[in-house]
């Protein structure tokens, strides 16, 4: 599983134009477990964007965002001009490759790989990408990605 | 998904086992299956090969997500499987580095084979198979002579790095 962390909302917004018709693509695999993806995060982002005057035209709730095959029946509006990807940067690359007529906007950065324990409601980062070395061994709450101070895994 | 390649061969497994070992072959069913290294078909194939070579395979198992510690511990503790796991002396987990780590943690009283490396994160498609896009090791891109925007095919990458693909 891949641990990602959301970019600041302002940094996501900066990549949009007010005229953009926004589509949201949200992943329900790794990204949901680490608090970046899933329908809840998509709804929250849509609400914020709508309040700020952006037009959200579709939300694609993907089972797995890094598998090209799942996009065949994805709910991505043909009218969308920008797609916000609530997933790891790899999914943003996949979206970019599939929807070449739209802007694919990365909303999260990859931190590393994790193991999880639903019974303990937490996950632990076991392997990290460059720049995230300090997070190796850190445990986080499942579905929110909130860092925990103790270690149980 | 995590893009994985084999660092060891079937001969390495044979050299690692002893004739007395009671072996369990288990596989994750997500990334490693997408990479064409694991999954039910390849687990059964490995078990048959080992049996043909005189090793005692006492069980095969598929774990939905090997990176889920609970699922691994459930196999160890569940009334349906705990006896067979207690009897085993050697576990061959077909999983990414995190899955192998979980198996070592869960079955710490047994020897656990470590023959697969997770190289980074990538995509998968029916047309091109698994492709690495974001490597864990930042020097990997240099070793590969660069990684294209849409990734490098697992087979091409493994060939360049001297790693192996496909089932054991």
Dihedral sign, Cα of residue B133, residue B150, residue B66, residue A27: positive
Is residue B124 within 8 Å of residue B36, measured between CB atoms?
no
- Interface touch B2/A2, C-beta < 8 Å: yes
DSSP H or E stretch at residue B10: helix B10-16
Contact flag B122-A90 (C-beta cutoff 8 Å):
yes
Q: What is the per-residue pLDDT across A30-84, written as a single tens digit (0 to 9) for each?
A: 999 999 999 999 999 999 999 999 999 999 999 999 999 999 999 999 999 999 9
Percentage of chain B exceeding pLDDT 70: 100
Contact A126 B98 (CB under 8 A): yes
Exposed / middle / buried, residue B128 (Cβ in 10 Å: 0-12, 13-18, 19+): middle
Residues of A in contact with B2 (CB under 8 A): 1-2, 113
* Partners of residue A118 in chain B, C-beta under 8 Å: 68, 70
Which chain B residues touch A if contact means CB-CB below 8 Å? Answer: 1-2, 34, 65, 67-70, 96-98, 101-102, 118, 121-127, 133-134, 136, 138, 149-151
- Does A118 reach chain B within 8 Å, measured CB to CB? yes
Q: What is the pLDDT of residues B59-109, one digit of tens each?
A: 999 999 999 999 999 999 999 999 999 999 999 999 999 999 999 999 999
CA distances in angstroms from B150 to A14, A97, B82, listed in the order given: 24, 7, 44
Could you tell me if A66 lies within 8 Å of chain B, comparing CB atoms?
Answer: yes
List the single residue in B with minimal CA-CA distance to A114.
B98
Instruction: Give the list of residues 6+ apart from residue A116 with CB closer than 8 angstroms, or none.
Output: A1, A33, A122, A123, A124, A142, B65, B67, B68, B69, B70
Chain B interface, best mutation among A1, A88, A91, A128, by max B CB count within 10 A: A1
- Minimal Cβ distance to B125: which of A68, A110, A128: A68
Q: CB-hemisphere CA count at 13 Å for A37? A: 33
Q: What is the mean pLDDT of residues B135-140?
A: 94
- Pick from B69, B131, B136: which is nearest to B99 by CA? B69
**Strands of the B2-6 sheet, one edge to the other:** B2-6, B116-125, B129-135, B152-153
Q: What is the per-residue pLDDT for B100?
A: 97
Q: What is the pLDDT of residue B119?
A: 96
Q: How far is CA B78 from CA A152, B38, B84, B85, B90, in A?
A: 21, 23, 10, 10, 19
Distance CA A148, CA A133 (A): 17
Say which DSSP state B121 is in. Answer: E
Q: Is A128 on the interface with B (CB under 8 A)?
A: yes
CA-nearest residue of chain A to B124?
A67
Q: Which of B26, B148, B42, B6 minimizes the C-alpha distance to B90?
A: B26
**Of the candidates A67, A110, A118, which has its C-beta nearest B121's C-beta?**
A110
CB contact under 8 A, A90 and B134: yes
Decide if A67 contacts B31 (C-beta within 8 A). Answer: no
Nearest chain B residue (CA) to A133:
B136
Name the closest residue on chain B to residue A119, using Cα atoms: B70
What ipTM was estimated for this complex? 0.92
Q: Exposed (0-12), middle (13-18) or buried (19+): which is A118, by Cβ within 10 Å?
A: middle
pLDDT digits (tens, 9 = 90+) for B37-64: 999 999 999 999 999 999 999 999 999 9
pTM of the model: 0.93
Contact state of A113 with B70 under an 8 Å Cβ cutoff: no
The DSSP bridge pattern shows strands A108-117 and A2-6 to be antiparallel
% residues pLDDT > 90 (chain B): 99
Gap between the Cα atoms of A126 and B100, Å rounded:
12
């Amino acid at each position: 599983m891949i641990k990602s962390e959301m970019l600041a909302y302002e940094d996501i917004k900066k990549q949009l134009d007010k005229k953009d018709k926004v589509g949201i693509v949200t992943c329900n695999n790794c990204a949901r477990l680490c608090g970046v993806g899933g329908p809840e995060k998509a709804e929250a982002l849509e609400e914020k964007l709508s309040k700020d005057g952006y037009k959200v035209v579709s939300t694609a709730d993907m089972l797995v965002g890094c598998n090209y095959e799942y996009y065949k029946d994805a709910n991505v509006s043909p009218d969308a001009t920008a797609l916000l990807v609530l997933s790891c940067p790899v999914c943003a690359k996949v979206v970019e490759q599939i929807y070449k007529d739209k802007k694919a906007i990365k909303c999260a950065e990859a931190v590393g790989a994790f193991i999880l324990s639903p019974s303990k409601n937490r996950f632990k980062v076991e392997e990290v990408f460059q720049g995230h070395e300090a997070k190796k061994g850190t445990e986080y709450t499942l579905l929110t990605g909130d860092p925990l101070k103790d270690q149980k895994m | 998904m995590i893009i994985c390649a084999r660092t060891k061969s079937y001969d390495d497994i044979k050299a690692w086992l002893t004739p007395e070992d009671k072996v369990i072959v288990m596989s994750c069913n997500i990334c490693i299956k997408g990479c064409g290294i694991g999954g039910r078909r390849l687990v059964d194939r490995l078990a048959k090969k080992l049996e043909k070579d005189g090793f005692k395979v006492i069980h095969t198992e598929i774990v939905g997500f090997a990176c889920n510690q609970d699922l691994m511990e459930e196999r160890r503790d569940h009334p349906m499987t705990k006896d067979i796991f207690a009897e085993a002396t050697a576990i061959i987990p077909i999983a990414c580095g995190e899955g192998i780590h979980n198996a070592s943690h869960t079955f710490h009283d047994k020897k656990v084979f470590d023959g697969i490396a997770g190289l980074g994160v990538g995509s998968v498609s029916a047309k091109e198979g698994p492709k690495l896009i974001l490597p864990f090791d930042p020097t990997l891109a240099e070793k590969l002579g660069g990684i294209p925007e849409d990734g490098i095919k697992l087979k091409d990458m493994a060939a360049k790095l001297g790693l192996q693909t496909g089932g054991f």
